[in-house]
Amino acid sequence: SSIEYAASTRSLAQDALIEAGISEETVPLPSNPNSECGIWLAPSTIPGAGLGMYAGRDFRKGDLLQEYGDVVIPIIDIESHAREYSPEKWNFLWDEYTWDAESLQMDHEGYGHVNVASPGFGAAANSFLGIFNVEEYSPVPYDETASLHRSKDPGLGGFSMYGNRLSVAKRDISAGQEFFVSYGENWFETRPQMKTVPLFKDLKKANQLFRSFRKLIQVDKQQVLPEDVAKELWDVFIRNNKFDGSRILGAFHHDDPDELETLKKMSLQSLRRLQSTRSLEWIEEHGTCGDHLKAGPSELAQAGRGAFASRFLPADTVVAHVPLIHISDRGRLNMYQLETRSKQRRPSRSKGLLGQQILMNYCYGHGESTLLLCPYGPMVNYINHNATKANVKLRWADPQRGNHMPELLERSIEELDTNATAKLAFELVALRDIQSGEEIYLDYGEEWEQAWQEHLVKWQQHVEDHRDDFANYTSARQLNADKRSRLYTEFDQIESPRYPANVEVKCEKVFLDNDDWEVFAANNTIDDYLRSHRDELLPCEIMRVERIEGQLRYTVVMKEPDPDDDSLLINHLEEHLPRQAIRFVDKPYTSDIFLTNAFRHDIRIPDEMFPQAWRNVIQTEQ
């Protein structure tokens, strides 16, 4: 493991010191933060797959790869807000990096289709379903800020309320192995270029095929076909086989002449696992540490969460590699006011601008360009602005260490747009020594700072103008943070409405026809159970509340869409559920990110770094 590796390098150096007559205690060794690194970003072992993520140390099944998971950003109804872009021109690279909102419990934020950008671990890791080793949990709504309120906190609505999406080792992973998450079979099935990539069961089936082949060449008990004949048969049937679109044949490496021999000694799964492992020396030479940063509530009261140094980082350390997803025209993030009359509540351009997608606040841009570059990778989206305390700066990444193609800096934005994958990256570099636990700050630039100062003034005026609306608002987040109070039933609500009109009651689908939670309830660990088993939320009505063995238990009706007819709902009565089965959610377009006075501004790329070729806007905006 890397720990052993670090320890052994250290002891060699210490040996040398002792030999030179210098006591090891008095001479501190130069610290190398990379030797402690558990997660690396480096070129993938999958050919053509760009960047990948590697284990820098051993992980046991069930280990969390990070203590606090990554940010998750909803992209709301973008197809209908940006309908002016014709589908042929709709090259939205984020589509390759977004998740389905229902399974992540975020679909209630929009009326149509919510995409979920989950730009942390899962966006940087590749997917190899046959040997996937990392599972990603659902994000959790950010309850830590339940005390922030739109009537007093100008920062609210300026960052996504979702985060802490944790990654967990699904099996034991040894140092040097590439991490693979599951993008799901559907991701591979809907991409023609992926049609021969093996899915979950295909490595197993290919193994069976190989065993059948071995039987075939076994002439009788004693005799096997001569090796060259066997090899030829293998070449004819497997290696040169052009069965188009077979995922099982796709499981073999057709360009590897030794595969036949190797497979006599090990299964395809073991072989692929071995082939997706690199030495730590190789990884260190070609990669960048991906866990120098950890997340937590920011020291800046209005900023939400922030990134912190997870260990001592000497000046000039590359604190993070920051791969980028480009959006050629920032106008694509515009959101329009909704039609008030139609039931569909579609956005309409003629009604005027509502604001911009919250994704804008996570992207980098320049005043003379329509281009946005949005970062992904572990924790990099958590870094906040501070001009005076900045301890990291941006630079273009070293092309040796990932997927940065410097030649793109000379191409026009139109040309950039023809790239179907992310091919640009920044690096964040320590401006000085950074102590373990220090918050990481970047200077977002003067224009950002000025925009924030102007926001504070305008925000104050807006809140004063709408004092009552703001003061009387209760968010779903506030209601969820109260875990003790008895919830009101539908009947209580008929007597007098107890919950604000902007929230809805939903139930965790995982409690439907499933008693597994009872064991966890007995041990007081339902929250842990939910973390790994979360499924979508269903509309739900609370019918009855009882106290059973000292605990409040709820009888609810969950409403599940009929699989045969979307417009129908099937009612399920579930009795005696715990409080955790019920969640309040904000109704579409009501949560803080939709406030018309919420802060929106891209992070600014320093002028000296920004290529001439991308300056397609003559005067700076505003």
Ligand X SMILES: C[S@@+](CC[C@H](N)C(=O)[O-])C[C@H]1O[C@@H](n2cnc3c(N)ncnc32)[C@H](O)[C@@H]1O
Choice from 146, 300, 429, 543 touching ligand X (CB under 6 A): 300
CB of 253 to ligand X, least distance (A): 40
Tokens 């150096």 — which residue?
Answer: 13
Other residues' Cβ atoms within 10 Å of the Cβ of residue 616:
14
- H/E run at residue 216: helix 202-217
Half-sphere exposure of 277 (CA within 13 A, CB side): 17
Q: In terms of CB distance, is 41 or 71 closer to ligand X? A: 71
Element (H, E) at 471: helix 467-471
Is 150 a binding residue for ligand X by CB under 6 A? The answer is no
DSSP 605: P
| Least Å from the CB of residue 483 to ligand X | 23
Question: If binding is defined by CB under 6 A, does position 361 make contact with ligand X?
Answer: yes
Helix (H), strand (E) at residue 70: strand 70-76
- Within residues 206-235, the interface with ligand X by CB under 6 A covers none
Q: Which is nearer to ligand X, 251 or 303 (CB)?
A: 303
Residue 362 binds ligand X, judged by CB under 6 A: yes
Nearer to ligand X, 147 or 279 (CB): 147
Show the beta-strand stretches assigned E in 359-436.
364-365, 372-375, 384-385, 392-396, 424-430
Is residue 366 part of the contact set for ligand X (CB under 6 A)?
no
Q: Which is nearer to ligand X, 82 or 161 (CB)?
A: 161
**Site for ligand X (CB under 6 A): which residue of 2, 105, 384, 480?**
384
Query: Strand order in 582-586's β-sheet?
Result: 565-577, 551-562, 537-548, 503-508, 582-586
**Contact between 158 and ligand X per CB under 6 A:** yes
Q: Which one, 111 or 362, has the nearer CB to ligand X?
A: 362
Separation between Cα atoms, residue 440 and residue 52, nearest integer Å: 24
Minimal distance, residue 184 CB to ligand X, in Å: 25
Q: Which two tokens stand for residue 560?
A: 């599940």
Q: Is 160 in the site for ligand X (CB under 6 A)?
A: yes
Nearer to ligand X, 298 or 590 (CB): 298
Binding-site string for ligand X from residue 58 to residue 97, where x marks contact by CB under 6 A and - marks none: -------------x--------------------------
Looking at the Cβ atoms of 277 and 298, the one nearer to ligand X is 298
290 binds ligand X (CB under 6 A): no
Residue 574, number of CB atoms within 10 A of its CB: 18
Residue 385 binds to ligand X (criterion: CB under 6 A): yes
Closer by beta carbon to ligand X, 334 or else 386: 386
**Residue 544: both structure tokens together:** 């009855």
Residue in the structure block whose two tokens are 């640009």: 424
Question: Quick one: DSSP state of residue 231?
Answer: H
Tell me, letter by letter, the H, E, C secondary structure of 513-566. CCCCHHHHHHCCCHHHHHHHHCCCEEEEEEEEEEEECCEEEEEEEEEEEECCEE
Residue of 92, 76, 617, 86 whose CA lies nearest to 334: 76
> Can you tell me which of 127, 381, 478, 480 binds ligand X, judged by CB under 6 A?
381
| Closer CB to ligand X, 240 or 388, in the complex | 388
x/- mask, ligand X, residues 595-614, rule CB under 6 A, reads ----x---------------
CB 368 → ligand X: shortest distance, Å?
Answer: 20
The minimum distance between CB 70 and ligand X, in angstroms, equals: 10
Minimum CB–partner distance for residue 180 and ligand X (Å): 26
Rounded least distance, CB 158 to ligand X, Å: 3
Q: How far is the CB of 456 from ligand X (least distance, A)?
A: 9
Contact range with ligand X by CB under 6 A, out of 16-24, 377-385, 550-558, 582-590: 377-385
Instruction: Give the residue with the Cβ less far from ligand X, 159 or 517.
Output: 159
Amino acid, single-letter form, for residue 564:
D
* Structure tokens that stand for 406 in this block: 């410097």
Please identify, among the stretches 175-183, 248-256, 299-307, 583-591, the one whose residues bind ligand X according to the rule CB under 6 A. Answer: 299-307
Q: Which of 302, 348, 502, 580 binds ligand X (CB under 6 A)?
A: 302
In 3-state terms, what secondary structure has residue 4? Answer: helix
Note whether 426 binds ligand X by CB under 6 A.
no
588 binds ligand X (CB under 6 A): no
Please select the residue that binds ligand X; options are 203, 303, 373, 374, rule is CB under 6 A.
Answer: 303
Q: Is 356 in the site for ligand X (CB under 6 A)?
A: no
Listed as own residue / partner, the contacts of 331-334 with beta carbons closer than 8 Å and 24 or more positions apart are 331/82, 331/370, 332/78, 332/82, 332/85, 332/92, 333/78, 333/82, 333/357, 333/359, 333/360, 333/372, 334/81, 334/82
| Beta pairing partners, 336 | 353
Count of residues in contact with ligand X, rule CB under 6 A: 20
Cβ(540)–Cβ(505) below 8 Å: yes
d(CA 66, CA 289) in angstroms, rounded, equals 13
Our CB check for ligand X shows the closer of 151 and 302 to be: 302
Q: Which is nearer to ligand X, 402 or 445 (CB)?
A: 445
Site string for ligand X, 304-323 (x = CB under 6 A): xxx-----------------
Q: Is 382 in the site for ligand X (CB under 6 A)?
A: yes
Min dist CB 300 to ligand X, Å, is: 5
What per-residue string of b and e applies to 528-567 under the rule 16 or more CB within 10 Å gives b?
ebbbebbbbbbbbebeeeeeeeeebbbbbbbbbeeeeeee
| Chain centre distance of CA 254 | 33
Is 579 a residue that touches ligand X (CB under 6 A)? no
Selection from 295, 318, 306 nearest residue 41 by Cα: 318
Smallest CA-to-CA distance from 537 within 101, 81, 53, 57 is with: 101
Chain residues that interact with ligand X, rule: CB under 6 A? 71, 155, 158-160, 298, 300, 302-306, 361-362, 381-382, 384-386, 599
